[in-house]
Amino acid sequence: MLWIRLLIHLLKEIVIANLSIANLVLRPTLRLQPQIFRIKTSLQSDVLKTLYCNSITLTPGTLTIDIQGDDILVHGLTDATRKDLEGGALEVPFLALEKR
């Protein structure tokens, strides 16, 4: 059941990110703020860390560059992207899976 919730959550995040990127690109004044930043993960499982990093990369406007321990290096197109990832909303379903 948690895997289904994770899939639904991920699909929702992908749709929101797609709309956000389309909005950025279609506006006459681009508000892009490309940046590379680090986020921390609380995940312990290497498998779940990998899935989490792949989820970040699947979300338009982001790319996981590297992971070392609990640090994930990410490239994002906007400052909002960084704030969303630092907020940890995308990580929550993975944490729920790990607690099982």
| Alpha-carbon torsion, ordered 11, 87, 41, 96, to 10 deg | -60
Rounded Cα distance between 68 and 49, Å, is 10
Query: Tokens 């070392």 belong to which residue?
Result: 68
Is the whole model's pTM more than 0.75, yes or no?
Answer: yes
Average pLDDT for 89-93: 88
* Nearest to 97, CA basis, from 16, 9, 12: 9
For residue range 9-46, list pLDDT tens digits in order.
888 888 888 888 888 778 767 778 899 999 999 999 99
User: How far, in Å, CA of 75 to CA of 99, rounded?
Assistant: 28
Domains in the chain: boundaries: 2-99
Distance CA 1, CA 58 (A): 22
Confidence of residue 91 (pLDDT cuts 50, 70, 90): very high
Task: Convert the pLDDT of each residue in 46-62 to its tens digit.
Answer: 999 999 999 899 888 89
